[in-house]
Structure 1
Amino acid sequence: MSQAWPYEMLLGWRYTRAGRATRRNGFISFISGASMLGIALGVAALIVVLSVMNGFRKEVAGRMLSVIAHIEVFAPDGAALPDPRLTLSEVRRNPEVVGAAPFIGAQGLLARGETMKGAMLRGIDPALEPEVTDVAAQLKDTALKKLTPGSFGILLGSDLARSLGVIEGDQVTLMAPSGQVTPAGVVPRLKQMTVVGTFNSGHYEYDSALAMLNVDDAARIFRLEGPTGVRLKLRDPNEAPEVTQQLAGTLSGNLLILDWTQQNRTWFSAVQLEKRMMFIILTLIVAVAAFNLVSTLVMTVQDKRADIAILRTLGASPASIMKTFVVQGALVGVIGTLGGLALGLLIAFNIDVIVPFLERLFHASFLPKDVYLISRMPSDPQAGDIVPIAVISLLLSFVATIYPSWRASRVNPAEALRYE
Structure 2
Amino acid sequence: MKQGFFRSYEWMLARRYLRSRRSEKFVSLISWSSGIGIAIGVMTLIVVLSVMNGAAVEIRDKLLGFSSHIDVQGPGDTLSEWPAWLQQSESLPGVKRAAPYIQSQVLASYGSRAFGALLKGVDATRSDDIAAHVVKGRFIGSGVSPFEVVMGKTLARKLGLDVGDKVRLMSPSGGISPSGASPRMRAFELVGIFDSGFHEYDVGVIITPLQAVQRLNRLGNSVTGIELFLDDRDQANAVAKLARQSLPTGAWVTDWQQRHRAFFNALKTERVAMGVILSLIIMVAVFNMVASLVMVVMERRKEIAILKTVGATHSSVMRVFLLMGMMLSGVGTMLGSVLGLLLAWKLDPLLAWIEKMLGMQFMSGEVYFIDHVPSVIDFSSVVMIVVASLIMGLLATFYPAWRAASVPPAEALRYE
TM-score where L is the length of structure 2: 0.94
2:296 pairs with 1:300: yes
In structure 2, give the amino acid aligned to 1:67. Answer: F
SS in 1 for 2:226: strand
Q: Structure 1 stretch 305-314 or stretch 259-268: which is displaced more?
A: 259-268
Residue in structure 1 matched with residue 225 of structure 2 by the alignment: 229
Distance 2:380 2:269 in 1: 17
2:98 — aligned with what?
A: 100
Deviations 1:147-198 (A, max 9, x none): 66x5321221111111111112222221112333222222222222222222
- Assess, with a 3 A threshold, how the Cα gap between structure 1 residues 145 and 2 changes in structure 2: closer, same or farther: closer
Once the 2 structures are TM-superposed, how far is the Cα of residue 254 of structure 1 from its aligned partner? 0.9
Alignment partner of 1:315 is 2:317: no
Q: Residues 328-339 of structure 1: matches in 2 within 5 Å?
A: 328-339=324-335
For 1:110, the equivalent position in structure 2 comes to: 108
Residue in structure 2 matching 1:161, options 156, 159, 168:
156
Q: Name which of 15, 37, 52 aligns with 1:13.
A: 15
Q: For the residues of structure 1 that align with 2:172 and 2:410, how far apart are their CA atoms?
A: 93
Q: Deviations over 1:381-405 (max 9, x none)?
A: 1111100000110011111111111
2:360 matches 1:364: yes
More off after superposition, 368-377 vs 113-122: 368-377
Identity within the alignment, %: 39
**Contact 2:141–2:209 (CA under 8 A) maintained in structure 1:** no
2:83 paired residue among 71, 85, 92: 85
Q: Please say if residues 12 and 324 of structure 1, whose CA atoms lie closer than 8 Å, have aligned partners that are also in contact.
A: yes
Paired residue secondary structure (1:279): helix
* SS of residue in 1 equivalent to 2:238: helix
Query: Which secondary structure state, in structure 2, belongs to the residue aligned with residue 106 of structure 1?
Result: strand
Cα distance, 1:63 vs structure 2? 2.2
Mean CA deviation greater in 38-47 or 213-222: 213-222
The separation in 1 between residues aligned to 2:168 and 2:138, in whole angstroms, is 23
Q: 1:311-337 CA distances to partner (integer Å, 9 max, x unpaired)?
A: 110111111111111111111000000
Distance 1:136 1:252, change over 3 A: farther
| 5+ residue gaps, structure 2 | none
Structure 2 partner of 1:187: 182
Alpha-carbon separation, structure 2, partners of 1:101 and 1:381: 35
Indicate which of 117, 120, 132 corresponds to 1:119. 117
Within 5 Å, give how 1:190-229 maps onto structure 2: 190-225=185-220, 226-229=222-225
Q: What residue in structure 2 maps to residue 241 of structure 1?
A: 237
State the partner residue of 2:33.
34
CA distance in 1, matches of 2:386, 2:76: 52
**Counterpart AA for 1:341:** S
Residues 328 and 139 (structure 1), Cα distance of their counterparts in 2 relative to 1, 3 Å cut: closer
Aligned residue number for residue 44 of structure 2: 45
How many angstroms apart in 2 are the aligned matches of 1:306 and 1:37? 28
Of residues 163, 178, 182, the one that matches 2:173 is 178
Letter in 2 for 1:158: K
Q: Note closer, same or farther for the CA distance 1:157–1:76 as it changes in structure 2 (3 Å cut).
A: farther
Q: Is the 8 A contact 1:16 1:331 kept in 2?
A: no
Of stretches 55-64 and 116-125 in structure 1, the one that deviates more from structure 2 is 55-64
1:350 to partner: Cα distance = 1.2
The aligned counterpart of 1:264 is: 260
Secondary structure of 1:243's match? Answer: helix
User: Are 2:286 and 1:290 equivalent residues in the alignment?
Assistant: yes
* Aligned partner of residue 369 in structure 1, secondary structure: coil
What is the CA–CA distance in structure 1 between the aligned matches of 2:14 and 2:76, rounded to whole Å? 73
Q: CA shift at 1:340, angstroms?
A: 0.2
Q: Distance in 2 between matches of 1:278 and 1:92?
A: 42
Letter in structure 2 aligned against 1:167:
D
CA distance in 2 between counterparts of 1:32 and 1:326 reads: 13
Q: Which runs of 5+ in 1 are unaligned?
A: none
Q: Is the 8 A contact 1:146 1:196 kept in 2?
A: no
Residues 342-381 of structure 1: pairs in structure 2 closer than 5 A? 342-381=338-377
Distance 1:219 1:360 in 2: 46
Inter-partner Cα distance in structure 2 for 1:404 and 1:361: 48
1:155 aligned counterpart, secondary structure: strand
> C-alpha separation between the residues in 1 aligned to 2:53 and 2:82?
38
Q: Distance in 1 between matches of 2:272 and 2:360?
A: 28
Query: Distance between the aligned counterparts of 2:356 and 2:171, measured in 1?
Result: 45
1:291–1:396 Cα contact (<8 Å) kept? no
